[in-house]
Amino acid sequence: MFKKSLLAVAAASMLTLTACGGTAGAGSAAGNSGDDKITMGFAQVGAESGWRTANTKSVQDSAKTAGVDLKFSDAQQKQENQIKAIRSYIQQKVDVIAFSPVVESGWDTVLKEAKTAKIPVILTDRAVDSSDKTLYKTFLGSDFVEEGKKAGDWLVKDSKAATDTVNIVEIQGTTGSAPANDRKEGFAEAIKADPKLKIVASQSGDFTRSGGKQVMEAFLKNNADIDVVFAHNDDEGLGAIEAIEAAGKVPGKDIKIITIDAVKDGMTALSNGKINYIVECSPMLGDQLMDLAKKVIAGESVPERVVTEETTFTQEQAKQVLASRPY
């Protein structure tokens, strides 16, 4: 089914080429590589987390299934590397560029270069703060504010019976990234509902396990009374667990932990009672990305925002689904 529709789109894109000579962002699927394969340049953030590994695999697998020739680069969480990769994709005249911007700001120049070269850009996973919405065709990914809200809503409910102040430490994601900015905002918004809930410290763990561990060690040193950790991703939460255990405390009991992602290691810790709640963020964006790319190249209209569907998991729910989680 999928293959068939891709063939149809590929054919449509060739028709577009014949009809309008590859102008107006129609791409040049047949022109560049000498066959009818679409070439996509994908500038990935890095390999910082379990989520990212699953996301990379999803994009690579889906490209294969869709018959898309994928050029892939890993920016090691550095914006300058991503910009270099995008410039090289422009030089190579790929048909479409997709990327997951490590931070939100500072993309206008390189996006304008892609636009001038008539190469369409698709944002996946993370947003940019450019005011010129014509610099990219669509943005596929999660609603991070909503994710932060879900995490905060759970804590509001869970803390109903508490009589004292609930001291929260927050381990933020990569500074300046859309998920760090938005999850922080959504969580803060939700916990406003209960004045007992107080964020006593907030620092970036760069979305990594080692970052989460380091930040948590410092938090434990400087704060005698921590009740809750809100980590912006599972990996940071898993790092925090190590720090909490090393300090002789019991994660999930002495200190409750809320994270976002729901990757295998996170879900395992949730089933084992070391994490208390996980908000899902799906990394499986590959199929939708390939589909959007085909449409964009064929000159079809696509929605400017495609939001990923996601759920949440308690410890009980995690036990039930753990075995069947694909990543």
Interaction between residue 125 and ligand GYE (CB under 6 A): yes
Considering the complex, what minimum distance in angstroms separates the CB of residue 317 from ligand GYE? Answer: 19
Which residue, 70 or 281, is less far from ligand GYE as judged by CB? 281
Which residue, 27 or 205, is less far from ligand GYE as judged by CB? 205
Which residue, 95 or 261, is less far from ligand GYE as judged by CB? 261
Contact 59, 83 (CB under 8 A): no
Interaction between residue 207 and ligand GYE (CB under 6 A): yes
43, 262, 281, 306: residue in contact with ligand GYE (rule CB under 6 A): 281
Interaction between residue 277 and ligand GYE (CB under 6 A): no
Which residue, 52 or 256, is less far from ligand GYE as judged by CB? 52
9, 39, 48, 139: residue in contact with ligand GYE (rule CB under 6 A): 48
Considering the complex, what minimum distance in angstroms separates the CB of residue 266 from ligand GYE? Answer: 9
Residues 216-255 that bind ligand GYE (CB under 6 A): 233, 235
The phi and psi torsions of 270 (rounded to 5 degrees) equal -65, -45
Q: Which stretch binds ligand GYE (CB under 6 A): 18-26, 47-55, 185-193, 287-295?
A: 47-55
Burial of 284 (0-12, 13-18, 19+ CB in 10 A): middle
> What is the distance between the alpha carbons of residues 232 and 258, in angstroms, rounded to a whole number?
8
Which residue, 45 or 226, is less far from ligand GYE as judged by CB? 45
Interaction between residue 291 and ligand GYE (CB under 6 A): no
Considering the complex, what minimum distance in angstroms separates the CB of residue 47 from ligand GYE? Answer: 9
Q: 164-193 mask for ligand GYE (x: CB under 6 A)?
A: ---------------x--------------
Considering the complex, what minimum distance in angstroms separates the CB of residue 125 from ligand GYE? Answer: 5
Which residues of this protein are in contact with ligand GYE, per CB under 6 A?
Answer: 48-49, 51-52, 125-126, 179, 207, 233, 235, 260-261, 281
